[in-house]
Amino acid sequence: MSQSLPRSPELDVPLTTRLPAPHPGNQLTVALATYNGRNLLEIALPSLARQSFRDFQVIVVDDASTDDTVDWLHECWPEVDVVVHDRNRGVTAALNTCLERPRSPLVGLFNNDVELDPRCLEEMVRALHEHPEAGWVGGKLIDFHKRDEIDGAGDIFTWRATGWRRGHGERDHGQYNTPRAIFGACGGAALYRRSVLEEVGEFDEDFFAFYEDVDWNLRAQLAGFSCRYVPTAVVYHMGSATIGRGLSDFTRFHLWRNTLWIIAKDLPAGALLRHAHQLALGQLVNLAVAARDRKLGIWLRVWRDALRGLPRVLHKRREVQARRTISLSALEAIVGPEGGPPNA
């Protein structure tokens, strides 16, 4: 039996409330990837059923769960389109399956460990309609357990080749209540135009887990698309509820290796030259952390595997750079501590 999580009283949903019936003309498809997460879906799906926006259908991609998620979905949420992987293929592959199925003009990707405010989808869809220049949007993530704490107000990317959520861990005083252009959206709570997904391409499955959304955000920006931060689209995020909290060896390996691949794959030659000192500093910080935490073995394995994969990464680099339409100065306005053009 799955372990129940506390529901938010203000967002509780009567058992009779259902998700919209899917039909071929749906404007939006909401896709959730899950692995052994029935207890999380018991929060996420009812919050989707409460949405004020109703022109959507739901897909759940199950990455070979060993709990009773699939049977429970078929029994309790028959209106959900359930796709089951025959083996555990990892977070990034599950996200790509979420993207392959929909034919609707808009596609929403949400982690299974979220609870959506009732107006979340409505606000995201409205932002895309009001900002035709935006290819995708992200909402304001609030800590599920600490409702006065920000989990993320849009994603940022720095010249150390690190990605993070703007405002993470800060007390929410309304300091991130202004909608604006931003570097990117967390892949666990974002709405995309399907046309942009088709142009930029899928998430890179070689990343397996972590930074696959940072890589996609950067590729989309290089291709000339912009992202919009929508603070009125509120998402309560539990954070690492499937993979686990803390800096595990698994997390360290994928973060450190995937950072190297982002540098080799996505950054234009001019950026590599101009910001070489910052990029090198980022790698020295990783080395120092590995030495401090007695994880030099992981750090060495990161470089071994990153170099082994370099020919494949450089092949992808040619494709990414061929699609690039923005100048180096435009990229420098997007990358940095704030993650977006000032006053945008």
The pLDDT value given to residue 339: 54
Residues 172 and 57 in one domain: yes
Cα(67)–Cα(59) distance, rounded to whole angstroms?
18
Residue 36 included in any domain: yes
Residues 226 and 253 in one domain: no
Residue 339 included in any domain: no
Q: Which helix (H) or strand (E) holds 230?
A: strand 226-237
Residues 216 and 267 in one domain: no
Mean pLDDT of 110-123: 97
Residue 332 included in any domain: no
Q: Which helix (H) or strand (E) holds 157?
A: strand 155-157
Residues 156 and 113 in one domain: yes
Last residue of a domain, one of 237, 258, 283: 237
Residue 334 included in any domain: no
Residue 242 included in any domain: no
Compute and round to an integer the Cα radius of gyration of the chain.
20
Last residue of a domain, one of 184, 214, 237: 237
Sequence-separated (6 or more) residues with CB below 8 Å from residue 92? 203, 204, 205, 207, 208, 209, 212
Domain that holds residue 199: 9-237
Residues 27 and 76 in one domain: yes
pLDDT level of residue 258 (50, 70, 90 thresholds): very high
Cα(214)–Cα(203) distance, rounded to whole angstroms?
10
Cα(111)–Cα(34) distance, rounded to whole angstroms?
7
The tokens for 240 are: 């690492």
Cα(202)–Cα(198) distance, rounded to whole angstroms?
8
Cα(152)–Cα(139) distance, rounded to whole angstroms?
9
Last residue of a domain, one of 177, 209, 237: 237
CB 273 within 8 A of CB 332: no
pLDDT level of residue 309 (50, 70, 90 thresholds): very high
Residues 303 and 169 in one domain: no
pLDDT at 101 over 90: no
Residue 139 included in any domain: yes
Residues 150 and 260 in one domain: no
What does the CA dihedral 259, 93, 240, 167 come to, rounded to 10 degrees?
Answer: 50
Residues 304 and 224 in one domain: no
164-196 in b/e burial notation, b at 16+ Cβ within 10 A? ebbbbeeebeeebeebbbbbbbbbbbbbbbbeb
CATH number at residue 130: 3.90.550.60
The pLDDT value given to residue 240: 60
Cα(291)–Cα(325) distance, rounded to whole angstroms?
40
Residue 1 included in any domain: no
The pLDDT value given to residue 23: 84
pLDDT level of residue 269 (50, 70, 90 thresholds): very high
Residues 210 and 268 in one domain: no
Q: What rounded mean pLDDT belongs to the chain?
A: 91
pLDDT level of residue 18 (50, 70, 90 thresholds): confident
Specify the residue for token string 């690492």. Answer: 240
Sequence-separated (6 or more) residues with CB below 8 Å from residue 200? 135, 216, 219, 220, 223, 225, 323
Cα(257)–Cα(300) distance, rounded to whole angstroms?
10
Sequence-separated (6 or more) residues with CB below 8 Å from residue 267? 161, 275, 279
Residues 278 and 172 in one domain: no
State how many domains the chain has: 2
The pLDDT value given to residue 338: 61
CB 237 within 8 A of CB 146: no
Q: What is the per-residue pLDDT across 214-238, written as a single tens digit (0 to 9) for each? A: 999 999 999 999 999 999 999 999 9
Residues 22 and 132 in one domain: yes
Residues 137 and 180 in one domain: yes
Residue 187 included in any domain: yes
**Angstrom distances, CA of residue 218 to CA of 118, 126, 165, 334:** 30, 24, 14, 10
